[in-house]
């Protein structure tokens, strides 16, 4: 996958959409039947997101595209757990939860493809409490957000859940802090500008901007032996001899900085490669 030109050229992830038409058909499927089909979709992007980002996305006016981190989102993808689903004659409604929020997803049934549906019972199915990846578009109706899905695919490799969160974090950091290794312009007291090393660009800059407690927690997370799910805050507190409440505050600081990310729950953290 490439992380360049997100504003207009980010159109791939590392996970292909199985079940779409040839040539990445799900990327264009929505623009043909959407009420906004008369708008140009030549700059369609595919952005990995969290559900919280979708719920917080800005929409300047009802006919405008949604924006996350100041950048328009057209096509989107996220990974979450199916909390509930109901099948109708024309569509299936899902409620998805990814740990950051919940959102409704609607997948319309393609009548022309019903006879071609795979009936192999050995393959994973979309059922409640299983994980799946969604590709689609963010919509709003009566001030309520929902996603119209082009593809909903079961997750077969649970590493994909962590990979997606990392991918969404990288794109978020790109828009909010700039590409890795670049400087950001900051205003000085006299109104001029000076170049300052972006903390996202190097570990040393990141460490110097942390509070002492956050630095201690970060070093513990970064250097401790752990599984792919990371470390729980209670383990961190006992390992470094710090009060649990102080570890919690330090963890929140590190999450805000993009130095760590949550895994199986809000209190289990793993480090990001900075």
> What's the residue count for the chain?
274
Residue 191 included in any domain: no
Mean pLDDT of 128-145: 92
Q: How confident is the model at residue 267 (pLDDT cuts 50, 70, 90)?
A: confident
Residue 192 included in any domain: no
State whether 154 and 213 are in the same domain: no
Rounded to whole angstroms, how far apart are CA atoms 90 and 108?
Answer: 6
State whether 153 and 36 are in the same domain: yes
- pLDDT tops 70 at residue 274: no
State whether 145 and 255 are in the same domain: no
Instruction: Using the Cα atoms of residue 240, residue 242, residue 244 and residue 245 in order, give the sign of their dihedral.
Output: negative
Rounded to whole angstroms, how far apart are CA atoms 251 and 232?
Answer: 11
Residue 189 included in any domain: no
Residue 152 included in any domain: yes
Rounded to whole angstroms, how far apart are CA atoms 181 and 226?
Answer: 28
Q: Does an H or E element contain 85, and which?
A: strand 75-87
| Angle value at C-alpha 246, between 214 and 206, nearest 5 degrees | 10
Q: Pick the most confident of 43-52, 59-68, 129-138, 265-274.
A: 129-138
- pLDDT tops 60 at residue 26: no
- pLDDT tops 50 at residue 30: no
Mean pLDDT estimate for the chain: 75
State whether 112 and 226 are in the same domain: no
State whether 155 and 262 are in the same domain: no
Which CATH number fits the domain that encloses residue 80?
A: 2.40.50.140
- pLDDT tops 90 at residue 246: yes
Which CATH number fits the domain that encloses residue 216?
A: 1.10.10.10
Rounded to whole angstroms, how far apart are CA atoms 134 and 92?
Answer: 13
- pLDDT tops 70 at residue 112: no
Instruction: Using the Cα atoms of residue 144, residue 27, residue 18 and residue 264 in order, give the sign of their dihedral.
Output: negative
| DSSP-H helix ranges across the chain | 6-9, 26-33, 51-56, 159-177, 203-208, 212-223, 233-240, 244-257
Rounded to whole angstroms, how far apart are CA atoms 245 and 197?
Answer: 31
Confirm if 96 and 103 have CB atoms less than 8 A apart: yes
Residue 45 included in any domain: yes
Rounded to whole angstroms, how far apart are CA atoms 222 and 186?
Answer: 29
Domain enclosing residue 124, as ranges = 6-165
Rounded to whole angstroms, how far apart are CA atoms 27 and 31?
Answer: 8
State whether 253 and 132 are in the same domain: no
| Angle value at C-alpha 271, between 202 and 269, nearest 5 degrees | 150
State whether 79 and 139 are in the same domain: yes
Confirm if 171 and 3 have CB atoms less than 8 A apart: yes
State whether 160 and 266 are in the same domain: no
State whether 148 and 216 are in the same domain: no
Mean pLDDT of 260-270: 84
Confirm if 55 and 101 have CB atoms less than 8 A apart: yes
Rounded to whole angstroms, how far apart are CA atoms 218 and 200?
Answer: 15
Q: How confident is the model at residue 186 (pLDDT cuts 50, 70, 90)?
A: very low
Instruction: Using the Cα atoms of residue 70, residue 75, residue 80 and residue 83 in order, give the sign of their dihedral.
Output: positive
- If phi over 0 gives left and psi between -120 and 50 gives alpha, with beta otherwise, what is residue 142? left
Number of structural domains (the chain) is 2
Last residue of a domain, one of 139, 165, 191: 165
- pLDDT tops 60 at residue 17: no
Residue 36 pLDDT: 42
> Pairing mode, if any, of strands 75-87 and 131-141?
antiparallel
């Amino acid at each position: 996958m490439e992380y360049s030109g997100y504003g207009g050229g980010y159109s791939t992830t590392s996970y292909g959409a199985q079940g779409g038409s040839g040539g990445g058909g799900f990327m264009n499927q929505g623009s043909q039947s959407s009420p906004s089909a008369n708008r140009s979709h030549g700059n369609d992007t595919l952005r990995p997101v969290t559900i919280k980002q979708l719920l917080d996305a800005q929409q300047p006016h009802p006919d405008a595209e949604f924006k996350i981190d100041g950048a328009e989102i057209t096509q989107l993808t996220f990974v979450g757990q199916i909390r509930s689903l109901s099948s109708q004659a024309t569509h299936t409604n899902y409620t998805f939860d990814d740990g950051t929020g919940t959102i409704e997803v609607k997948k319309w049934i393609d009548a022309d493809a019903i006879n071609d549906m795979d009936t192999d019972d050995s393959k994973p199915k979309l059922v409640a409490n299983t994980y799946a990846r969604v590709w689609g578009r963010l919509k709003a109706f009566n001030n309520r957000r929902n996603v119209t899905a082009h593809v909903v695919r079961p997750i077969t490799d649970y590493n994909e859940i962590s990979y997606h969160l990392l991918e969404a974090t990288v794109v978020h950091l790109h828009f909010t802090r700039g590409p890795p290794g670049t400087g950001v312009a900051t205003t000085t007291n006299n109104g001029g500008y000076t170049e300052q090393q972006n903390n996202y660009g190097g570990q040393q800059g990141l460490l110097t901007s942390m509070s002492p407690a956050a630095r201690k927690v970060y070093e513990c997370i970064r250097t401790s032996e752990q599984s792919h799910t990371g470390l729980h805050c209670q383990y961190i507190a006992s390992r470094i001899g710090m009060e649990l409440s102080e570890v919690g505050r330090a963890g929140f600081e590190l999450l805000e900085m993009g130095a760590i990310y949550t895994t199986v729950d809000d209190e289990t953290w793993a480090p990001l490669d900075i």
